[in-house]
Amino acid sequence: MTLRRNASPRRKSRPSATKAERVRLALLAGLPCMVCGTRPVAVHHLRINPNTGDHLGMSQRAPHAHTIPLCPYHHQTGPFGEAYHAGAAEWERRHGSQRAMWQALEAWLAGPRTPGTFPRGPYREAGE
């Protein structure tokens, strides 16, 4: 970390999104919330690797490909258990796992995307 004159310390930032990642983020921003179906949404970066189920550490950044659309209420502004960032374990108990949501979204994105087929919860992983 270097200090600049009259400035705050420089922090490492996420690498710039590639064109494909920007297209994905824009697509997700136009979709409804995966929990309640409302709009507008924020793009939530998963705190797990959806391919392996491994949790990311506090300093690890999720790639732009591991994202799902959540409304502000279910992402950050709702109370404990309703907003992911207000209580992740309780949120997953109520609404299903991030991994299952991501898998449902990926299956929908790979398919024909016909109206009325957008995945809605509850989302449970196989064996739950």
Q: pLDDT for 31-55, tens place per residue?
A: 999 999 999 999 998 887 666 666 6
Cis, peptide link before residue 40, omega less than 30° from 0: yes
Q: Residue written as tokens 């959806």?
A: 50
How many structural domains is the chain composed of?
1
List the structure tokens of 3.
Answer: 């200090």
User: Is residue 119 in a domain?
Assistant: no
On the question of pLDDT at 1 being above 60, the answer is no
8 belongs to a structural domain: no
> Strand, helix or coil at 96?
strand
More confident of the two residues 65 and 26 = 26
Domain enclosing residue 101, as ranges: 42-50+64-112
pLDDT band, very low/low/confident/very high, at 23 (cuts 50, 70, 90) = very high
Q: Report yes or no on 17 lying in a domain.
A: no
Evaluate whether residue 127 is within a structural domain.
Answer: no
Q: CB–CB of 68/109 below 8 Å?
A: no
Tell whether 96 is covered by a domain: yes
Residue 75 domain-assigned?
A: yes
Contact 104, 97 (CB under 8 A): no
71-75, 80-84, 110-114: segment of lowest average pLDDT? 110-114
Quote the tokens at residue 113: 């995307």
Tokens 């709702």 correspond to what residue? Answer: 78
- Return the DSSP state at 95: H
pTM above 0.85, yes or no: no
The values of phi and psi at residue 76, to 5°, are -135, -30
Residue 30, pLDDT score: 93
